[in-house]
Amino acid sequence: MSTSVREKTPYPTTSSPVVAWLNDGWITTRRNLIKIKRVPDILVFTTLQPIMFVLLFTYVYAGVIDIPGSSYKEFIMAGIFAQTVVFGSTYSGSAMAQDLKDGIIDRFRTLPMSPSAVLVGRTNGDLLINSISMIVMMSTGLIVGWRIKSSPLEAIAAIALLLLFAYALSWVMAFIGMSVRSPEVINNVSFLVLFPLTFISNAFVPAGTLPGPLRVFAELNPVSALVQAARELFGNTPPGSAQSDVWPQQHPVLAVLIGIIVMLVIFVPLAVRKFASISTR
């Protein structure tokens, strides 16, 4: 056979490149959604973990952590939301590493499709997983006594901000997943990076209660800005709480939006370029 099996056929002339790209993105997204159906463990883990975190923090720690002017249930929920979607975004990295290990990426290389569509489908699939997690967490939170004290539009804005942050972080993790040699490595790297980001923050205790260096780190932590933004938009900010003099804590919504844009601008092209480079090995 004179023609290489890796030679891609061009897009049909009847379709514009944009239409072809959108179609490729939808096909790869659908592939990841079907995978969730065929591997129900993913969905089980997606639903059970949020329930476990909500019950653990609202019942185990609520009696020992005092939040002046508010209840710990109202204070903690934004932190649980942020922690869950942040860790949920790591699936993009481990899934890309697994596809590389299994040779799925080599199969994609032989198809007449846009390379970036593979990444779009991967991150879109994980956005759905995080959306399911948000629904489960909010439902569980409402059952245990958490309440939204803001307007419906502000609550929707909080949910959108959390999911957009997770989506942008998925591109970061996809890039890292293509840069390592096995899914086990990406899991370890994600844990080492995201564990301190989520726990050394204002997610579970007020940042002002932390000792000096940890307080500085927590106030500058992007996860703290995400938590503070969600807390304000849900109307769960404790009344009379101390105001931080750090800009991300004073303007958390704007800080998170800037962070989302920066991650997308930097890591979308990096991930696409990385995918192209590994496709030529």
Helix ranges (H only) for the chain are: 17-38, 40-55, 72-88, 90-102, 104-109, 115-144, 152-179, 183-199, 212-220, 222-233, 247-250, 252-278
Query: For residue 1, is it within any domain?
Result: no
Query: For residue 89, is it within any domain?
Result: yes
CB 224 within 8 A of CB 202: yes
Q: How far is residue 77's CA from residue 50's CA, in Å, rounded to a whole number?
A: 11
What is the residue whose two structure tokens read 């040699």?
Answer: 181
Rounded to two decimals, the pTM is 0.86
What integer pLDDT is reported at residue 15 of this predicted model? Answer: 57
Structure tokens at 210: 């932390």
pLDDT tens per residue, range 56-109? 888 877 767 777 777 888 888 999 999 989 988 888 888 888 888 877 777 777
Query: For residue 42, is it within any domain?
Result: yes
Query: For residue 5, is it within any domain?
Result: no
**Which structural domain, as residue segments, surrounds residue 56?**
17-278
CB 135 within 8 A of CB 110: no
Query: For residue 189, is it within any domain?
Result: yes
CB 57 within 8 A of CB 76: yes
Q: How far is residue 71's CA from residue 74's CA, in Å, rounded to a whole number?
A: 6
- Contacts (Cβ under 8 Å, ≥6 apart) of 147: 74
What is the residue whose two structure tokens read 């790209």?
Answer: 21
Query: For residue 2, is it within any domain?
Result: no
How many structural domains comprise the chain? 1
What is the residue whose two structure tokens read 């804590």?
Answer: 249
Query: For residue 12, is it within any domain?
Result: no
- Contacts (Cβ under 8 Å, ≥6 apart) of 80: 50, 53, 54, 57, 137, 141, 203
Alpha-carbon distance values, 251 to 115, 206, 219, 269 (Å):
37, 17, 12, 28
CB 97 within 8 A of CB 183: yes
207: closest CA among 157, 252, 169, 163? 252
Query: For residue 80, is it within any domain?
Result: yes
10-residue mean pLDDT profile of the chain (281 residues): values are 42 60 78 73 75 84 74 88 89 83 75 79 86 90 90 96 95 89 79 87 87 90 95 88 83 96 95 79 50
pLDDT tens per residue, range 242-262? 677 889 999 999 999 999 999
